[in-house]
Every structure is written in structure tokens, then in C-alpha cells.
Structure 1
Amino acid sequence: MQKELNIPIVLEAVKKAGHLFLKDYKQKAIPQTMDELVAELENIDTLCLTSLKEDLSAEFPNIPWHIGDEFDTEAQRNPAQQADYWLCDAMDGAIQYLQHIPGWTINLVLVRKGKPCFSVIFDPLSDELFWAKENEGAFMNDVPLQLSSKTDAAVMLSVFEYGHQDKSDTAFYQKIGSTITSLIQNFGIVRNYGPHGLQLAYVGAGRIDLFVQEDLDTYNWMAGILIAKEAGAVILTTDGTPWKWGSESLLVAKKETAQKFIHLNAKQS
């Protein structure tokens, strides 16, 4: 990177993109066919990327752009070759947006040497802007994030997610089912919400106690991983090993909560 990151410019660009979608929220008919759905998803990608490039390319002309296609499993196994690049998940939770329900955000990550060094998640409906810079903390509207202090699993909120990885292997379904069963049996509140990155940011904010996913979903995770990590959460796979780009599961929580899940899940298996 040729110059220091101008954080306010990036944050404002992401907020601007979010507000573009906010004014059209619930104004279009819900897609009823696959062709309609695909066309609307493409429109979302185009509108978001056009807005972000318009505001950021002049400030950061040498940083290329990479669209995070969560349907492309193989592309998610490794970072792109560029030393620095923007990874844009145009709208995390786009299905919710098109279905006229809450739970959609604009996510942007600056990847440096194969790992996120700055990320932003903007929830226009709540006007909440989550962001983090590597080794400098995580924030929501400039207020530092703080993990949950709960110790009793009976009052913890755990969430599970799944992505678009090929699940034709029936053993993979069984693994997902076993993990969900473990959550239901051992944690008081279990939910599936939708926007992966926002849920990870909520872990950092203490709103969610545990995030679990058993398949590969790197692009949907990346912005939230940095935010949760900078807030103090551990970033692991579901078997307790350190998460790295290309890992095929994700476990994010306070250290003690993550250890509790790993122990209980091992017993379940």
C-alpha cells in the first residue's frame, strides 16, 4: 500500500452504498423465479461496486477489486495473488433484502498479504457501522466492541450458519446435523439469522455468544472475522485448531465459550 489508509473516507463510502439500497428497500416486487432472482442479485452487485469504486478508486488508485462470489467454492480456498486488494461482498444477506425482511449489510475488506487488515460492515436499517483495523481494535459507530461476559451456556445465544459449498456428500450433512444437535442440547438459545458477517460482528459486540459453521464460506466470513478477532474473540475451526484462509469450518466466540463448545461437540460426536 502506497499510503496510510484513510479510514473516514472508507467508512463514508460504505455508508453511502448502504444508503443507496436503503431508499429502495421494499420498493420492488419479491422475485418469483430463478431468472428474476439472479437478475436482481446481479443488479445489487453492480450498484454496490459502482458506488464504492466511485468513492474509493481516486483515493486508492493502485488497490484492485475482487468480488467475493460465495458460490465459487474453489476460489475461496486461497487469497488472491495481489499484495493488497479490496474484497467486496456487495450485500451480505441479499436474499433477505429481496424478500423485504431485515438482515442485510454492505461488507468491505482490505486484504493485505493474504489476510484481512481492515474491514467494514454497515447495517443501514440499524445505522450501525462495525469496523476494525488489524492490531488497533474493533468498533461500532466509534465505540469499542466488548465480548459477552456470560459463563452459563443456558443463557447463551449461539448461531449456526451454512453456505453454498457442495453438500452432495451425505456425511457432510451428518456433520452439520451433529453440530446443530450439540448446540440445541447444550446452549439455551440457538438461532440461524442469515448475514454471516454481521453475526460475527455481533459476537464482537457481545450480542451473540457463539458462531458455528461447518462448511467453507470464506468470503461471507472475512469482514466479520477481523471485527470479532479485534474485539477479543478466538477464530478457530470447529475441532479447535486455529482458523486459516481455506479452512472448511469456523468457530468464533470468547475463548472460554469456544472451549466449552469444543468439549461438548467432541462428546456429541
Structure 2
Amino acid sequence: MPSATASSLDDTVLSQVTAAIHAAGERLRERYTHHARGISRDEIVSEIYANDDAVLDLLKEPLLAARPGSRWAEDELAGGSLPPGEWWIVDPVEGNINHVHGMPDWAVTATLVRDNQPVLTVVHLPLTGDDYTALAGSGARLNGAQLRVSAKTDLSAALIGTGQAKPGEDEQTFRRIGDSVTAMLINGLVVRVSVPATLQLIHVAAGRMDAFWQFSDVRSGLVAGALLVAEAGGTVTDAHGEPWSLASRDFLATTPGIHAAAVKTLSPIA
């Protein structure tokens, strides 16, 4: 991923973003239950939208105010490049499907993208209180402590992850996911298939996992983790090994020592 400078970003902006994210996280924690909410598809979708609506007012105005002139990417499931300038790519409940099913794997994320490159991100886990943050060119951190990707050099020793980007993707994408999981099961050590993407990418950035791939261009699930992994010393490309951008059709983030082997495994499928 091409580097982007953070010369105009400072700790004050990061603090403003973190405060907004924490406020949203507290409201979502109050809404969280240890049991599933909703049985029918319509009920589940209604719960998901209700979560988003509950925190949007806590996020949008403060984040736009933190960077005057910035804009808001409205559709959290959209992909592709954005017009020039600064944009906030936010997932009010990253892993919303987990939240409404009483599972703990969810977060609140906000990433500032400048000219299609992520330059600042905050990922807040309300149930643990953890904050994963990154500024382009300044490293990635967990609660202020520097993060570093793993030192693995052998794909056969790697813990690797992937997952579905969104409901209702086309059958060809599902078949590619299945084929890629099979290929990684053969070549890696253990493969995790789960959602959301960000909660696997924070593990790559922290050196707990060694790679994550996804056949998707959904921006909100990738930009935060892309910046965190890159700033933690990882390699972020598409599945063919080309530099990743918002225009890329697929995504791969690894520790550098297994990147070539991961590309070799995934590129025939991608």
C-alpha cells in the first residue's frame, strides 16, 4: 500500500476521533445482549439498522468537525475509489451481525482517507475497552503500545483468516472463497473463517495472526485494518501482490515473510 503522510494530523485530532468512537461504543454496549435478537431475516435487519441509527449522531458531526472540509462516505457496504480529498469511512458497528446475535466480536471503527489513502484510524472494542489506533507514518498501537506483525516466514506455520464481506454476494464470489479456503487449508497451518474483517486484521497487526485475505472491495471493512497492518510493518496488497488501493477487487494483508507464498496460493483463484 503506498505510504501517505500524516503531517497535518496530530494527537488532538486522534483524541477527538477516539472520544466520538468511545461515546458510540458506550451506547452500543448498553444495547448489547448475550442472546440473539430477531428470528426472521427482516427482524435481524431491523436490529442491525437500529444499532446504526443509535450511534450515527454520536459519530458523524464530531468526526466531520475534527477535519473541516472532510466528507462522509454514506454507504458502509460500498467499494471503489472516492473523489479526491478527505473522507471519513466509518462502520458504526463493525460486526453488527455478531452484536445482534449476542456474540462479542464487534467494534466501532472510523478511518480518515485522504485522496484514497487511509491516514488515520481508530478501532474501539467496547466490551474490552481496547483501542487500536494508527497514523500514517507514525506506527500502529494498542492502547498506546506499539504493534508489530509476526516474524513468521513459513506459510505452513501460519494462522490465516478470511471471511464473507457482506450478505448476498454472487455465487462466483462464494465459490472463489471456498476454493481459496481449501487452498489455504492445504498450504497453511490453520484457517479461520469469520466476520468481521477488521477484528481479524487487528490480530494480524498485533502479530497474533499471520495473514488475512478477502475477495471484496467493501471499504469500511478493510481501510482500518489496512492502515493498522501497514503501520505495524506488514504487507498490504491485492491477491496478485499488486499494491492495494480502494479500487482493488480483492485484499491481502500479511506479515512480510509469508507474503510471496500467500500470493502464490491465492493468485490462481483470484
TM-score range, shorter chain: 0.7 to 0.9
| Deviation (angstroms), 1:267 | 7.5
Residue aligned with 1:158, SS: strand
For residues 180-217 of structure 1, the C-alpha deviation after alignment (integer angstroms, 9 at most, x for no partner) is: 11110111111112121121121111011110112332
For the Cα contact (< 8 Å) 1:217–1:248, is it kept in 2? no
Structural RMSD (CA): 2.4
Q: 1:240 to 1:166 in 2, by over 3 A?
A: farther
Per the alignment, in what secondary structure is the counterpart of residue 107 of structure 1? strand
Among residues 1, 15, 19, which one is paired with 1:12 in the alignment? 19
Contact preservation (8 Å) 1:68, 1:89: no
Secondary structure at 1:67's aligned position in 2?
Answer: coil
Q: Which amino acid in 2 is paired with 1:88?
A: V
Equivalence for 1:184: 185
Q: Once the two structures are superposed, what CA deviation does each residue of 1:128-152 show, in whole Å capped at 9, x if it has no partner?
A: 1001111111111000101111234
State the number of aligned residues: 262
Q: Distance in 2 between matches of 1:199 and 1:27?
A: 21
Aligned partners of 1:68 and 1:88 also within 8 Å: no
Please, what TM-score do these two structures have when normalized by structure 1?
0.88
CA distance in 2, matches of 1:261, 1:59: 38
Does the CA-based 8 Å contact 2:86-2:115 persist in structure 1?
yes
Counterpart among 116, 122, 132 of residue 120 in structure 1 = 122
Higher mean Cα deviation, 25-34 or 153-162? 25-34
Residues 101-250 of structure 1: pairs in structure 2 closer than 5 A: 101-164=103-166, 167-168=169-170, 170=172, 172-250=173-251
Query: Counterpart of 1:40?
Result: 47
Moved more, 58-67 or 191-200: 58-67
**AA at the equivalent of 1:200:** L
- What SS does the aligned partner of 2:140 have? strand
Change (3 A) 1:58 1:115: closer
Partner SS state of residue 23, structure 1: helix
Give the aligned residue type for 1:240: G
Aligned to 2:3: none
Q: Indicate the residue corresponding to 1:63 in structure 2.
A: 70
2: CA distance, partners of 1:29 / 1:160: 24
CA distance in 2, matches of 1:60, 1:119: 13
Tell me if structure 2 keeps the 8 A contact 1:167–1:173. Answer: yes
Q: Give how far 1:16 is off.
A: 1.9
Percent identity (aligned): 27
TM-score normalised according to structure 2 size: 0.87
Q: Is this contact kept in 1: 2:72–2:88, CA < 8 A?
A: yes
Unpaired runs of 5+ in structure 1?
none
Superimposed CA distance per residue, residues 68-100 of structure 1 (whole angstroms, 9 cap, x where no aligned partner): 421x4xxx1221x35112211111100000000
Cα-to-partner distance string for 1:215-265 (whole Å, 9 max, x where unaligned)? 332221111111111111111111211112121111100122111112344
Q: Distance in 2 between matches of 1:64 and 1:238?
A: 29
